[in-house]
Structure 1
Amino acid sequence: MIEVSEASHQIIADLLEARTGQHLTESRRWRVNSALAGIFRAHGISNVDQLVCLLAAPPGGPETPDLSQEVVEALLNNETYFFRDKPTFDQLPGEILPEIAHRRRDMRRLSIWSAGCSTGQEVYSLAMLFNEQAERWQGWTIDILGTDVSHRAINAARSGCYSQFEVQRGLGVTQMLRHFDETARGWQVREDVRCKVRFHQHNILGAFPGRMPFDLVLCRNVLLYFDRQVRTQAFARLSSAVMPDGFLMLGAGETAVGQTDRFVPSARRASFFEPAGQAAALQKIA
């Protein structure tokens, strides 16, 4: 493995943090060279030190305008799959969505935000849930928004086209045939699923440009890449994005406990959290 000079490592780490808020910890440093291998080949270089020289090139030099974004996107972890962490995901149709539906029974409108949606599998999984309970949600307006800091990931999500390997991760044969069409390019999400979703490039730490707040926000396996200070900022953004009687869903290995006072655990529901003020109000009622 080619060693990366400390100065070059710090420049790459600072770039990633400035663009995304993610902290490049020592435990992630080992994958820098492998993550950037495609960029090395594309630009005819062999190591991070040379890449940093390209990034620092003066105007008119060899740097391409999008090189810094290429570097950032290469370092992002876009690991995802359909119905990820199924025991946790199964709580949505079983408990969470019916409870939200009861609270929105007069409006008959439900909005969901998947923050850090990567290449879209989580968003389409949500849309499939509603299609599989079509009778239950007849007459409802369902709006599912997926956002990610990666432009490349969002483009992939918008295409709604996945490889055989990707659709086999989390989906059974019946679901594949029900919700996808096999094409020459791969497995294409059907229109009755796609019509419920939309995608937007967005950094969770930035001001949100769309309609807020949401009944349910999923932010899974995103916060773990932030240091404590940035994680606090992220929880503040998420707090403003969730309805007072809504829910926040985190990853299986994540928690809001000890991280923020804006959310508290939802009773008996692993990985789900509620705005602290609403939870306190419900306890008084009870």
Structure 2
Amino acid sequence: MDVSEASFQIIADLLESRTGQHLTESRRWRVNSALAGIFRAHGISNIDQLVCLLAAPPRTLDGPDLAQEVVEALLNNETYFFRDKPTFDQLPGEILPELAERRQGARRLSIWSAGCSTGQEAYSLAMLFIEQAERWQGWTIDILGTDVSHRAIEAARSGLYSQFEVQRGLGVTQMLRHFEETERGWQVSPEVRRMVRFQQHNILGAHPGRMAFDLVLCRNVLLYFDRRTRAEAFDRLAQAVLPDGFLMLGAGETVVGHTERFVPTSRRASFFEPPSSGAALRKIA
């Protein structure tokens, strides 16, 4: 089913206004398949009819927000546990030990998983600390997962995953240690869930906490922004990272040519840091 230029642009503008994501022509092919569930739920035949409904006044004040349903359906929530493992392994191998040395006095680490989708990345971080419990004894570890999608955050908070989801990135030993098999799926253990909190948040909006973070993971999120919005996102992320903290991007992402707020770290793929260093905590207004 073809998508008319006018309807495609209206849908693209809606997505960009609510999330900052740019719906490029290369992603046009998946619009119909992404919205198929909405078509069925609302008895809609095509994109043009959907656009007409979006332009109409809401039927009831307490009814579902059709526009938000469309946005949620278009978001790419692809993720899995310990995603891009060779890159992720740099965390326990190099980054976290370095941060531990810098924070030895406070014995506290604050980590933000921005664009966490359905929670696998944030829970993977918690598992790292649990599996090195002796190393982190006496430390306070705060892990925050955020995503622009309300539906994704609700799934993350539930900590419940299908057999397919739990097998992606996890070995059998990790599955048995950190999950319990239930009739509804695989439930993240209370020990892991206690370490992580989730909230809905747009990285283009206000900072999600009062203090800056030691480590921010924002992987495969900026890919969906145009150049101007990506620069804005980097400015927001720079406000969220401590002067001697780290930013982790996706394997295909870089700061080079996009911002001067971060520079590549030496010999560490996908990790970046502010160009200046310092240990003082910064409050975010």
Report TM bin, short chain.
over 0.9
TM-score, L = length of structure 2: 0.95
Q: Letter of the aligned partner of 1:206 in structure 2?
A: G
Structure 2 residue matching 1:22: 3-state secondary structure? coil
Structure 2 residue matching 1:276: 3-state secondary structure? coil
Whether contact under 8 Å (1:216, 1:246) holds in the other structure is yes
Structure 1 residue matching 2:276: 3-state secondary structure? helix
Cα-to-partner distance string for 1:193-249 (whole Å, 9 max, x where unaligned): 111100000000001242320000000000010000000000000000000000000
- In structure 1, stretches of 5+ residues that fail to align are 280-286
Tell me how far apart the structure 1 counterparts of residues 58 and 171 of structure 2 sit (CA, whole Å).
52
Tell me how far apart the structure 1 counterparts of residues 60 and 192 of structure 2 sit (CA, whole Å).
46
49-58 or 109-118: bigger deviation: 49-58
- In structure 2, stretches of 5+ residues that fail to align are 279-285
Q: Which residue of 2 aligns with 1:217?
A: 216
Q: Letter of the aligned partner of 2:249 in structure 1?
A: L
Q: For residues 63 and 6 of structure 1, do their structure 2 counterparts lie closer, same or farther at Cα, with a shift above 3 Å needed?
A: farther
Q: Which residue of 2 aligns with 1:79?
A: 78
Q: Share of identical aligned residues, percent? A: 83
Q: For residues 64 and 48 of structure 1, do their structure 2 counterparts lie closer, same or farther at Cα, with a shift above 3 Å needed?
A: farther
Q: Which residue of 1 aligns with 2:67?
A: 68
Superposed displacement of residue 75, structure 1: 0.3
Whether contact under 8 Å (1:82, 1:167) holds in the other structure is yes
RMSD over equivalenced CA pairs, Å: 1.4
1:172-191 matched pairs, under 5 angstroms: 172-191=171-190
Cα-to-partner distance string for 1:43-100 (whole Å, 9 max, x where unaligned): 0011110001111112448995411000001000000000000000000000000000
Superposed displacement of residue 278, structure 1: 2.2
Whether contact under 8 Å (1:57, 1:63) holds in the other structure is no
Q: Letter of the aligned partner of 1:208 in structure 2?
A: H
1:222-241 matched pairs, under 5 angstroms: 222-241=221-240
1:258 maps onto 2:257 in alignment: yes
State the aligned residue count.
278
1:89 maps onto 2:88 in alignment: yes
Q: Letter of the aligned partner of 2:12 in structure 1?
A: A
TM-score, L = length of structure 1: 0.95
